[in-house]
Chain A
Amino acid sequence: MSYESPIRDQLVTGGKTYRDVTRDVTRPLENAPSKSWWIGFSISTLVLALWIGATTYTVFVGLGAWGLNKTVGWAFDITNFVFWVGIGHAGTLISAVLLLFRQKWRMSINRSAEAMTIFAVICAASFILSHMGRPWVAYWPIPLPNAFGTLWVNFNSPLVWDVFAISTYFSVSLVFWYIGLIPDIATVRDRAVSKARKFWYGFFAMGWNGSTKTWHRYEVISLILAGISTPLVLSVHSIVSMDFATSLVPGWHTTIFPPYFVAGAIFSGFGMVLTLLIIAREVMNYKDYITEAHLDAMTKIVMVTGTMVGMAYITEFFVAAYSGVEYEQYAFLNRAFGPYWWAYWTMMTCNLVAPQVFWFKWARTTPWFIFIMSIIVNIGMWFERFVIIVTSLHRDFLPSSWAMYTPTITEVSILIGSFGLFFFLYFLFCKFLPTINMAEVKSIIPTHHEDHGHNHVKGENHAN
């Protein structure tokens, strides 16, 4: 768009120049880490150690280390898996869907959101590996030719679809993230003073020289990748939902699952983006890049997706009542008023009720409040998966086999530990890579050269 209405919010405030952007973003990379970084990184590493310990214990002992029983054969592991995959979705939405929608406010947040996607998918994958019980045969879900005998994977199984969906998602996200990083890595390379920095950043910059031609290619490939990623935002969690929805289990088999899981994934993803960015803008002093207008837009998305998810809860409940199928009806009554009622109402409160505060402007622009809300959202979304999975299983068709599920310390440790893994990777990312897309942010800085094309503006400033 060559013209912007004066009533729109300024996306970068504080009168930043191109030079300021480069300086602000590369500061953490070029200086010794701050004290707060060391504290955060050390805690994450400790928690990561907990994850390593608990996962190793599981591998040695076997799944007996978990609280599963023959009725509830899938609980914490798959809850955590779905939880982490969901977290990743906001990154893809911000980088792909918002790119297609020409939402320029995505430019200062997309980098960390995409990094978050990748780390979240790594965390999710770790649960798939550990819940296999024998992680050394983890390549079995891959349809390899008959070298192992005549057995093939069951292509009719949504679990196999999942393997494809998640690995596609991971690879496309990684490529997208990396392509976006190249111009910025080149900037870091050009500013490098030590030989090692020059070599490594130079290696990953892949010879980027900032010419018009490279920028043109960059924009075209970004658009193509956005086009490929957009269906992935929908397909990945749709297929995750089919792990449940293709079954016959009341509470699982319902046609609204695919879009409802996608909405929930974006909801929880934005929760996590907000958690990370509110810390980042405080600690790294990025308040002029991640402005109140950004928080306002993101909290609106949280509210919309939270309400969509809430609508799905109500729809499911209604249709169960309407269906006249007594098993469906019981499954939902059991959810809301059975032994796991507290989980259900936590989910309802956190996901449907709590986000309604974002109708108020104050709530949408007050960082400490949004921070608390972002954590509430993620608690709610974790409980959503727990509710769906455990309450549908624990009272199955035979009342004689009804059971309760309680996680063991090992399972809880793996869950807590996975946050260690996530933040460990995130802290490393903050130290070694630019957390804000400098090149793109420079294109939206208020400038007097409005008639110049974006390419031109980027081209002359990439190496400042």
Chain B
Amino acid sequence: MEHAEVHIKEEKFEISSGNKKWAFGLMIVGFLLAVIGYFTYHPHIEGLNEHDLHHLTQKRLWSNLLVNGYFFFIVSICAAAFIAISQIANAGWYVAIRRIPEAMSEYTLIGGPILVIVSLFALPILYHWAHEGIMNPESANFDAILAGKSWYLNVPFFYVRMVLFMSFWMFCAHMFRKYSRKEDLEGGMTNYTKTYALSATFTVIFGFTFSMFSWDQMMSIDAHWYSTIFSIYNFATGWVSALTIMYLFTHYLRSKGLLNIATDEHQHDLGKFMFAFSVFWTYMFTAQFLLIWYANIPEEVAYYKERLFGSYQFLFFFILVLNFCVPFFIFMRRDWKRSRKVGYIVGAALLLGHWLDVYLMVMPGSMNLATLPTAENPGGIIKVPFQGFGIMEIGFLCLFAGLFLWMTLKALTKANLYPTKHPYIMESALHDVGV
């Protein structure tokens, strides 16, 4: 029936002035808000001296940069992982929208270096284990437990891992894009086969390295704490967010009369993925939370005590609503997965929820102040309560979102809007989700 209507043709995307306004508007407004936020933040906490309070300003600044640097980087690298996994699973349906994750992965070119630079500065400010003298038995700051981790948690090794992993991922993402664009010109199976081999290699190495990456970047902020599921939980965060952005971009492009090869059927399948992986995220959340809460081992519950009972309590539950309840109850309906209006709402909720999730991984730990251990405070940590969600947070989020948007839109212009000579393009064009 539909056969007659499908024409594979070369379709290009051009950045409109509206796109430009949005992307640069977000960046400029974001930057201004962040600057204003930074200079208007004057914390008042009883018992802290001027120096500590100044330090707190620094911490909030770098925490924000880390939250955004990490979130947008994992989202774009998960987009590359989506390509790799779909490729080795021999998936056909996604080909029509393949250029969107390809474009998203191009953000790594700028997001990668940003995260490296942020880490460079953030390490001594946010990460307790990287503070002076922590690993040195002679020092007053000495922390025996953290010193026991020095074989893994040390600054040079941290950077070696980070740069090595990120450059490998970025290289693979680059090759995926390159092969895909070459395929449009050459046709044939060569580029497909090459992508296949690289995807398998990438997926295995990504699995192992992403684990360590998330331990380094996020878990080591609360350096005493540990959880074996943490890395998979982080992957779920990045993966759902990446799917959501693909879903939103598909809706957006179709609303502009572009990418007509993608239909409600693709929208539906992406929606199903968002639904399914939101449940997956919740599963990982439960695996971590339930087991730690149930066993109630002091070293482990400390992490949740701050989040569940402290000043972050609202965010903790809010995230569950955004990341589980919203997609679960709304996207259960077939027509709502296909609806643009509803899709935008659920997409926005999920992105905010997962961004807040990263925020909640970072802030409670990174804002704490290190001090000299005393008899009353053997850990040497002053707990700093939630400092509010202010214009600094909104500013940095806008700044990075604008940058991400711009990089992705620009990348979209560089190739046809969908791969014209992919061996599965016809399957995708005629895709039908069935019953």
Give me the interface of A with B, judged by CB distance under 8 Å: 1-5, 7-8, 100, 102, 219-220, 223, 231, 234, 238, 242, 245-248, 253-259, 307-308, 311-312, 314-316, 319, 321-325, 451
Q: Which of B178-186, B204-212, B338-346 is found at the contact surface with chain A? A: B204-212
What distance in Å separates the Cβ of B49 from its nearest Cβ neighbour in chain A? Answer: 31
Q: Is B377 an interface residue (CB 8 A)?
A: no
21 contacts between A and B (CB under 8 A): A1-B432, A3-B430, A5-B426, A5-B427, A102-B434, A223-B435, A246-B294, A248-B297, A253-B295, A254-B228, A255-B227, A255-B229, A255-B230, A255-B287, A256-B228, A258-B291, A259-B284, A307-B204, A311-B208, A311-B211, A315-B228
- Whether A253 pairs with B423 at a CB distance below 8 angstroms is no
- Whether B435 pairs with A5 at a CB distance below 8 angstroms is no
Neighbouring A residues of B286 by C-beta, 8 Å = 258
Q: Is B394 an interface residue (CB 8 A)?
A: no
The number of inter-chain residue pairs (CB within 8 angstroms) is 104
Provide the bound-state CA to CA distance between A311 and B231, in Å: 11
**B346-386 at interface with A (beta carbon < 8 Å):** none
Provide the bound-state CA to CA distance between A452 and B364, in Å: 60
What distance in Å separates the Cβ of A22 from its nearest Cβ neighbour in chain B? Answer: 25
Neighbouring B residues of A253 by C-beta, 8 Å = 291, 295, 297
Provide the bound-state CA to CA distance between A307 and B292, in Å: 26
Q: Give me 15 other A-B pairs in contact (C-beta within 8 A), A2-B3, A3-B427 excluded.
A: A2-B2, A2-B432, A102-B434, A223-B435, A242-B290, A246-B294, A247-B295, A248-B297, A255-B292, A258-B287, A311-B207, A315-B228, A319-B226, A322-B215, A322-B226
**B404-431 at interface with A (beta carbon < 8 Å):** 423-424, 426-427, 429-431
* B interface residues, how many (CB within 8 angstroms): 49
What distance in Å separates the Cβ of B311 from its nearest Cβ neighbour in chain A? Answer: 24
Q: Is B159 an interface residue (CB 8 A)?
A: no
- Whether B288 pairs with A255 at a CB distance below 8 angstroms is yes
Q: Is B17 an interface residue (CB 8 A)?
A: no
- Whether A256 pairs with B229 at a CB distance below 8 angstroms is yes
Provide the bound-state CA to CA distance between A248 and B291, in Å: 10
Given contacts A307-B207, A322-B149, A322-B226, contact A315 B231 (CB under 8 A): yes
Given contacts A1-B430, A3-B426, A219-B435, contact A257 B291 (CB under 8 A): yes
Provide the bound-state CA to CA distance between A315 and B227, in Å: 10
Neighbouring A residues of B207 by C-beta, 8 Å = 307-308, 311
Given contacts A8-B90, A311-B208, contact A256 B435 (CB under 8 A): no
**B169-217 at interface with A (beta carbon < 8 Å):** 189, 204, 207-208, 211, 215
Provide the bound-state CA to CA distance between A290 and B290, in Å: 42
Contact code string B79-108 (vs A, CB < 8 Å = 1, else 0): 000000000001011000000000000000
Provide the bound-state CA to CA distance between A315 and B424, in Å: 37
Q: Is B308 an interface residue (CB 8 A)?
A: no
What distance in Å separates the Cβ of B138 from its nearest Cβ neighbour in chain A? Answer: 20
**Most chain A CB neighbours (cut-off 10 Å) among B226, B288, B297, B423:** B226
Provide the bound-state CA to CA distance between A424 and B259, in Å: 56
Provide the bound-state CA to CA distance between A5 and B211, in Å: 36
Q: Is B283 an interface residue (CB 8 A)?
A: yes
What distance in Å separates the Cβ of A57 from its nearest Cβ neighbour in chain B? Answer: 37
Q: Is B148 an interface residue (CB 8 A)?
A: yes
Neighbouring A residues of B215 by C-beta, 8 Å = 322
**B141-163 at interface with A (beta carbon < 8 Å):** 145-146, 148-149, 152
Give me the interface of B with A, judged by CB distance under 8 Å: 1-3, 90, 92-93, 145-146, 148-149, 152, 189, 204, 207-208, 211, 215, 224, 226-232, 272, 279, 283-284, 286-288, 290-292, 294-295, 297, 299, 423-424, 426-427, 429-432, 434-435
Task: Closest A residue to B89 by CB, please name it.
Answer: A101
What distance in Å separates the Cβ of B281 from its nearest Cβ neighbour in chain A? Answer: 12
What distance in Å separates the Cβ of A189 from its nearest Cβ neighbour in chain B? Answer: 26
Provide the bound-state CA to CA distance between A314 and B211, in Å: 11
- Whether A323 pairs with B432 at a CB distance below 8 angstroms is no
What distance in Å separates the Cβ of A103 from its nearest Cβ neighbour in chain B? Answer: 9
Provide the bound-state CA to CA distance between A444 and B3, in Å: 20
- Whether B92 pairs with A5 at a CB distance below 8 angstroms is yes
Provide the bound-state CA to CA distance between A201 and B255, in Å: 54
Provide the bound-state CA to CA distance between A234 and B284, in Å: 11
- Whether A7 pairs with B423 at a CB distance below 8 angstroms is yes
Neighbouring A residues of B211 by C-beta, 8 Å = 311, 315
Q: Which of B208, B291, B299 lies in contact with A255, CB distance below 8 A?
A: B291
**Most chain B CB neighbours (cut-off 10 Å) among A100, A219, A314, A321:** A321
Given contacts A3-B427, A8-B90, A102-B434, contact A325 B299 (CB under 8 A): yes
- Whether A231 pairs with B229 at a CB distance below 8 angstroms is no
Provide the bound-state CA to CA distance between A257 and B286, in Å: 12
Return the 6 tightest CB-CB contacts between A and B, nearest first. Answer: A256-B228, A255-B229, A3-B430, A258-B287, A324-B148, A323-B226
What distance in Å separates the Cβ of A164 from its nearest Cβ neighbour in chain B? Answer: 16
Neighbouring B residues of A245 by C-beta, 8 Å = 291, 295
Neighbouring A residues of B232 by C-beta, 8 Å = 256, 259
- Whether A257 pairs with B295 at a CB distance below 8 angstroms is no
Provide the bound-state CA to CA distance between A219 and B288, in Å: 37
Task: Closest A residue to B90 by CB, please name it.
Answer: A8
Neighbouring B residues of A234 by C-beta, 8 Å = 283
Q: Which of B226, B283, B435 lies in contact with A258, CB distance below 8 A?
A: B283
Task: Closest B residue to A231 by CB, please name it.
Answer: B279
Neighbouring B residues of A314 by C-beta, 8 Å = 208
